[in-house]
Structure 1
């Protein structure tokens, strides 16, 4: 893993924080792009300076992304992994008839437009580091829905479609896959003033055939596998990491 470089969007909190810390602590150079400068500053205190580049960036805005990748290219001449993890965590947008175009676009830009922009700008670095990988963090809501999650579901579903489109076009130098998290508890992985240690009820755990709610480490392990040689024959795939929740039939009481 020595001297490989991983770029993680939304890399300062939640799943992104877990990914950044994993790669920076395991011999990779890690780049975290995030709008939250306080969360980025906290990460700087947790990893070796030589292994980590923190860039404040709205990855849904083209100008920000262009500037960010200029900085990345000045820091490293190759990348081996891009994780398009950024997104709006809250999926609920309210009734469809009340959803404005601006709010809809916010969800789409945060997850889908950002993945397009960052993948496009990362291509020269990824090709220089080939064989390389892109992992898009989608959601099980790309496969099933709760009420009033229209924009989130559409953005995450689009991310799955973008995954197979890129896999077909960017191979064999770059493999592209998506990870679809289910219920993942990210409370312990927030910045210090937003951190929490939620307690999950028996009913919460029982919704999952594995008997527990997901952890950030579960997604980190999946991404690390997809980035490694062991997944060298895996591309264009949707890897569901949800403790079996989407496979369980739920009946009304």
Structure 2
């Protein structure tokens, strides 16, 4: 039997490079996958790909910036599968703009999807997991929670909030048998990996740029049904970049 046979897994932001790989991986491991993204972003195609590979998946469209759509999303899951065992909060986006020019509306749009959306999805999932006797929640943050480039304020703040939200939820939901962990990816190339330059790989202590599969493996570790002792953890998956001292010549 496959490790996730009979389990229901929701992946938010499933149309993106990392989300697509996560959905496919859980489908290949026997899970019933709830593929979630905005309408028109390719969710139906992901479901077809998972089915073609012998897996089971269902597309439920939702804009996580709208709380009412999140509530409806989970109601749809109730009607379709009647259970939710694992939630992967992967959805997120950024607006790269000078903090002197970033509008309140732009700030709110990033925070509402990335941070508030993660909280609301976790809240709705936890209600169901508690009733079932437990579950797994994994939040996808970023190394930008700890380090930044210019004009990334809203994105960095949202990802820092996700990292903090993770340990708060882990403490609150622990008595219900729910583990909550976080993955902070570094440079994960979701496009043409062969187009990367040698210097792109060399700047990583690991000797290479990351791939979506690196995040998949980390996620599988946190969601293992036997792994109930690791919770409240933020795992950095960045090839060692955030541990590298850089001196300007």
> For each residue in 1:8-63, what CA deviation from the matched residue of structure 2 results, as whole angstroms up to 9, or x when unmatched?
11012211111100111111010011015341121122122871110111012111
Aligned-residue CA RMSD in angstroms? Answer: 1.6
Task: Give, in whole Å, the separation in 1 of the partners of 2:41 and 2:106.
Answer: 25
Question: What is the match of residue 122 of structure 1?
Answer: 125
> Are 1:135 and 2:131 an aligned pair?
no
Residue 237 in 1 paired to residue 233 in 2? yes
**Residue in structure 2 matching 1:204, options 171, 181, 200:** 200
Q: Distance in 2 between matches of 1:5 and 1:55?
A: 13
Shift of residue 145, structure 1, vs aligned partner: 1.1
Q: Quick one: distance in 1 between partners of 2:131 and 2:82?
A: 7
C-alpha distance in 1 between matches for 2:245 and 2:163 = 23
Q: Which structure 2 residues correspond to residues 62-73 of structure 1 after superposition, within 5 A?
A: 62-73=67-78
Alpha-carbon distance in 2 for matches of 1:56, 1:227: 24
User: Shift of residue 113 of structure 1?
Assistant: 0.8
Give structure 1 stretches of 5+ with no counterpart.
188-195
Residue 168 (structure 1) aligned to one of 147, 167, 171: 171
Q: In the alignment, which residue of structure 2 is the partner of 1:46?
A: 49
Shift of 1:131: 3.1
Q: Partner of 1:153 in structure 2? A: 156
Within a 5 Å distance, the mapping from 1:1-253 to structure 2 comes to 1-48=4-51, 51-88=56-93, 91=94, 93-172=96-175, 173-187=177-191, 196-197=192-193, 199-253=195-249
SS of the residue corresponding to residue 88 of structure 2 reads strand
Report the CA distance between 1:104 and its aligned residue: 0.7
Aligned length: 243
Any conservation in 2 of the 1:11–1:20 contact (CA below 8 Å)?
yes
Under a length normalisation based on structure 1, what TM-score does the superposition of the two structures give?
0.91
Task: Give 3-state SS (helix, strand or coil) of 2:42's partner.
Answer: helix
Write the distance in 2 (CA, Å) between the matches of 1:35 and 1:114.
Answer: 13
Does the 8 A contact of 2:95 with 2:106 survive in 1? no
Structure 2 residue matching 1:67: 3-state secondary structure: helix
Indicate the SS of the match to 2:236.
Answer: strand
Report the TM-score when normalising by structure 2: 0.93
Contact preservation (8 Å) 1:77, 1:125: no
Q: In 2, are the aligned partners of 1:60 and 1:117 still within 8 Å (CA)? A: no
Higher relative contact order (CA 8 A, sep 6+): 1
Where 1:37 maps in the other structure, the secondary structure is coil
